[in-house]
Copies of this chain bind each other. A is one copy, B any other.
Amino acid sequence: MEQATADRARDGDASERSAHGEAWSALTRTHAAIVQRLQEMLSAADFPPLPWYEVLAAVSEAPDERMKMGDLAEALVITRGGLTKLVDRLVKAGLLERTFCETDRRVSYATLTPAGRDLLSEMRPAVIAELEIAFSANLSVAQAKDLRQTLDSVRSSACGAG
């Protein structure tokens, strides 16, 4: 399947490159542009960096505002080792605390502290506003939902078996 496009894509023909390659290129650039925009906004507002927000947001949406380290690493798509040190920094800042599981002493939870909850409630509107600006300028709600669905279907095939 897609033999024709694959053949056409093999040589460096930039004029009619594979539609999927074009989509990937647009995906990376758009992602980078929005990340950059968010980081600039957070830095200008004297907020912690974007990864901190992502951690806080993920934990806050979990039951009891706590999340297993492994699940959190998977949700953020980063390594476990990286998450350990990222959470270390958030704990040192008083935004998270580590709690432990009674039934399985291997697991540790990253749990939101009141300070973390407060900070998140300050950051969230700023982040959401920035996203609304970036998205809603050229995208209707229906288009955004369609985009989300399309991306999720791509992710499912990228994550699972090839």
Q: Would you call B132 and A6 a contact (CB within 8 A)?
A: yes
A19 B61 Cβ-Cβ under 8 A: no
Residues of B within 8 A of A82 (CB): none
- Secondary structure at the A interface, as helix, strand, loop or mixed, is helix
The reply to whether B138 and A153 form a contact with Cβ atoms under 8 Å apart is yes
Q: Mark A109-150, 1 if CB is under 8 A from B, else 0.
A: 000000000000100110011111111111101011111101
> Judging by beta carbons under 8 Å apart, are B154 and A139 in contact?
yes
Residues of B near A125 (CB, < 8 A) are 9-10
Whether A77 pairs with B36 at a CB distance below 8 angstroms is yes
Which of the 9-residue segments A20-28, A83-91, A92-100 touches chain B? A20-28
Assembly CA distance A51 to B36 (angstroms): 18
14 A–B contacts, CB within 8 A, in A order = A2-B136, A2-B141, A6-B129, A18-B132, A20-B144, A21-B131, A28-B31, A30-B158, A36-B77, A134-B154, A134-B157, A134-B158, A139-B150, A139-B153
